[in-house]
Amino acid sequence: MQPTAQAVGNESNMHQPGRGERNLGASSMKLHINGEEREFSGAPAPFTLAALVETLGMKADRVAVELNRDIVPRDRWAQTQLNEGDRLEVVHFVGGGSSSHSSQELS
């Protein structure tokens, strides 16, 4: 089976601290995921990338995330805080295909 990428969100960059946007408690936050604006009501403060992936119901080992145009390594998700208006591209890798496919020669 070949894994395929399945888009889940839109544009992103690595979050830079000091943007002046801070979350002090549970609130509503708007994020752009794969080009679509989504609102997350009751988002915990801080709302981290790890919390977002969990909220989206995705398995962390099958997801790649770009935040404001920078890829965020999985080991930094728990420390990466999200801010209002952040742009993310979320790609979820899924297995698929049929077990009976003809073999092809690659040249």
For 49-66, the pLDDT digits (tens) are 999 999 999 999 999 999
How far apart are alpha carbons 62 and 86 in whole angstroms?
A: 22
First to last CA, the chain: 21
Share of the chain above pLDDT 70, in %: 65
Model-level pTM greater than 0.85?
A: no
pLDDT at 43 (0 to 100): 84
Instruction: Check if the beta carbon of residue 46 is closer than 8 Å to that of residue 81.
Output: yes
pLDDT at 25 over 60: no
Q: What is the pLDDT of residue 15?
A: 39
At position 23, the amino acid (one-letter code) is N
* Structure confidence at residue 36 as a pLDDT band (50, 70, 90): very high
29-52 as b/e, with b when 16 or more CB fall inside 10 Å? bebbbbeeebebeebeeebbbbbb
Three-class SS of residue 61?
helix
Q: How far apart are CA 1 and CA 40, in angstroms?
A: 35
